[in-house]
Amino acid sequence: MQPTKTSKNSIPQSKTKATVWVVENGQIRPHLDYLATEEPLEIRLVAGGLRRNVAITMRTPGNDFELAAGFLYSEGVISSREDISRMTHCVDLGVAIENRYNIVNIELASGILPDLQTLERHFYTTSACGVCGKTSLESLRLRGCPVIPPEPKVKVEIFYTLAEKLRAAQRIFASTGGLHAAALFDTEGQLLAVREDVGRHNALDKLVGWALLAGYLPLHSRIVMVSGRSSFEILQKCLVAGVPIVCAVSAPSSLAVALATEFGITLVGFLREERFNIYSGVQRICNNENESQK
């Protein structure tokens, strides 16, 4: 993959060349390395000749349409892929050429802009923390998010394979060391899709957006695994996508556990090699004798 922005007309890339100075054994030497690219993405809604800016997120360029679609779906702005008639990058004459790929226009099939004031959040996001503002279990209840169905059941041994498969699929992380990932597996542990980004919430939005645009939602028979920790927002996005089992390399937050418990999600943390913790939904995970853990 080529480094980002070698000319004004180039499309922003997912990694950027940089010179770093390596200190080793008391010696300092220059070294050409790659960094994970971080640039803003502005998401705009277009309908009936009107346009509204919805969100700005700091992201790693790539899969921008999936990111925008997944974000709008997770936040309830759209409910299906049929709500989108077209997605384009910005072509406004007033926008500098090098910035046009940092703006995505989502044209709504209804021709009507939604009343975004009814949503409880102001949509400004960062690569570090996700959408900032009021988030609560009550907002999900008011949206009418259903409890996830009780199936499927998955053998313990399947979970042992997920972390290594996720790491092996992180191609950009391998060269930059600076990206999160979200991966989708079936109940036999087969990797179906993976997306990377400097923000774990962006990586998951890209994954959900991919599933939405491909017509795979809801993901009732799938497993999602994320790098890092599982937060309230990660669980919220998985809930809206219908994911029954969510795994993370690190720990969950207390609110993530509360959400998972209330809405019937199996939440796994500290998944590393042949050990993990189950924080909710233990009934979906079967032991070596193919019996449900009690």
Q: If you write DSSP's letter for every residue of the chain in order, what string do you get? A: -PPS-SSTTSPP-SEEEEEEEEEETTEEEEEEEEEE--EEEEEEEEETTEEEEEEEEEE-SS-HHHHHHHHHHHTTS-SSGGGEEEEEE---TTS-GGGGGGEEEEEETTS----GGGSSS--BEETTTEE-S---HHHHHHHTPPPPPS---EEHHHHHHHHHHHHHH-HHHHHHS--EEEEEEETT--EEEEEEESSHHHHHHHHHHHHHHHT--S-TTEEEEESS-B-HHHHHHHHHTT-SEEEESSPBPHHHHHHHHHHT-EEEEEEETTEEEEEE-GGGEE-TTS-B--
State the pLDDT at residue 98.
66
State the pLDDT at residue 164.
93
Rounded to two decimals, the pTM is: 0.86
State the pLDDT at residue 287.
84
State the pLDDT at residue 228.
87
For CATH 3.10.20.10, list the domain ranges present in the chain: 39-134
State the pLDDT at residue 91.
74
Q: What is the CATH number of domain 154-286?
A: 3.40.140.10
Give the closest residue to 207 by CA, choosing from 182, 237, 232: 182
Q: Per-residue pLDDT for the chain (294 aa), expressed as one digit of tens each?
A: 223 343 445 688 888 888 888 888 889 899 898 888 889 999 999 999 999 999 899 999 999 999 999 999 998 999 999 999 999 998 776 666 667 889 999 999 999 998 876 554 545 555 544 443 334 688 888 788 999 999 999 999 999 999 999 999 887 765 666 689 999 999 999 999 999 999 889 999 999 999 999 999 999 999 999 998 999 999 999 999 999 999 999 999 999 999 999 999 999 999 988 899 999 999 999 986 555 444
> Which CATH number, 3.40.47.10, 3.10.20.10, 3.40.309.10, 3.90.700.10, labels domain 39-134?
3.10.20.10
State the pLDDT at residue 289.
57
Catalytic positions are 129
List of long-range contacts for 2-10, beta carbons under 8 Å, 24+ apart: 3/34, 4/37, 4/61, 5/98, 8/97, 8/98, 9/97
For CATH 3.40.140.10, list the domain ranges present in the chain: 154-286
